[in-house]
A and B are shown apart, each in its own frame.
Chain A
Amino acid sequence: AQSVTQPDIHITVSEGASLELRCNYSYGATPYLFWYVQSPGQGLQLLLKYFSGDTLVQGIKGFEAEFKRSQSSFNLRKPSVHWSDAAEYFCAVEAAGNKLTFGGGTRVLVKP
């Protein structure tokens, strides 16, 4: 069965600093990978996705992620964080059909 691990429960970063969120997955086949962001009390917004092709994926709000098959990782990065990036971030892998398996999430706090 597929699984997703986000090792960092909380990350605090200063505004303007870079951000990297880790995601490791376990899945037998070629994975479809996603990063979603959730602001307090809100639903999930898709940041980016990887289906195939170029392993460096660009998303919205200046985010990018890199798929590394050898490390079973799909880490999310942003070069310069804005206060509005404070939220919870979820990595997910798609199994058969539309079933998404999510990690436990990483809460990002942004210091002024």
Chain B
Amino acid sequence: DAGVTQSPTHLIKTRGQHVTLRCSPISGHKSVSWYQQVLGQGPQFIFQYYEKEERGRGNFPDRFSARQFPNYSSELNVNALLLGDSALYLCASSLVEGAETQYFGPGTRLLVL
């Protein structure tokens, strides 16, 4: 079975632009979570979606939004990009929510200039 896939793998944007990152979970997984990993730090939780509903949100500004589609894939949107948004964005999926192993994708590396 394919693992978690993310697209694109790399992205370069300029300040003020908008970006959309995409994630396809492992087949059968209904929960998707997004994390931001700034260079040299551990990942930080951004959002969690389960059955197309937002179930958790981390301490990120409203410029960050996400959604989950009927096929359980997900998009992360970031508006009005700042230099500090440069990071590796990781998507993780699990069968259900709570006390479940999360499987991570390879990430999308975003560079904001």
Chain A residues with CB under 8 Å of chain B are: 4, 32, 34, 36, 41-46, 49, 51, 90, 92, 94, 96-105
Taking a contact as CB atoms closer than 8 A, the residue among A4, A97, A101 that contacts B55 in the complex is: A97
Chain B interface size band reads: 20 to 34
**Residue in A4, A36, A103 with the greatest tally of chain B CB atoms within 10 Å:** A36
Closest CB of chain B to A20's CB: distance in Å?
A: 19
Contact A105 B101 (CB under 8 A): no
Residues on B with C-beta less than 8 A from A102 are: 42-44
Please give me the residue from chain B that is nearest to A91 by CB atom. Answer: B42
Chain B residues with CB under 8 Å of chain A are: 4, 31, 33, 35, 41-45, 48, 50, 55-56, 58, 90, 92, 94, 97-107, 109
Residues on A with C-beta less than 8 A from B56 are: 96-99
